[in-house]
Structure 1
Amino acid sequence: MEKTKAYDIIIKPVLTEKTYTMMQEGKYTFKVAPDSTKPEIKEAIEILFNVKVEKVTVMNVKAKPKRLGKSEGYRSGWKKAIVKLSEGYVIKELQGNL
Structure 2
Amino acid sequence: IYTFNVTDNATKNEIKKAIKLIYGVTPLRVSTTKITSKTVVRRGIIGTKKGGKKAVVYLKKGDKIAIA
For normalisation by structure 1, the TM-score amounts to 0.64
What RMSD over aligned residues (CA atoms) do the two structures have, in Å? 1.3
Change in Cα spacing, 1:87 to 1:64, as seen in structure 2 (3 Å) is same
Question: Which segments of 5 or more consecutive residues in structure 2 lack a partner in the other structure?
Answer: none
Structure-2 residue corresponding to 1:67: 41
Structure with the larger helix share: 1
Unaligned runs of 5+ in 1: 1-26
Moved more, 54-63 or 85-94: 85-94
Whole-Å separation in 2 of the counterparts to 1:74 and 1:92: 33
More strand by share: 2
Query: What are the Cα deviations for residues 36-88 of structure 1, in whole angstroms up to 9, with x where unaligned?
Result: 00000000001100001100000011111111234211100010000001232
Residue type at the aligned position of 1:36: A
TM-score by length of structure 2 reads: 0.90
1:50 match: 24
Misfit runs of 4+, over 3 Å: none
Q: How many residues are aligned here?
A: 68
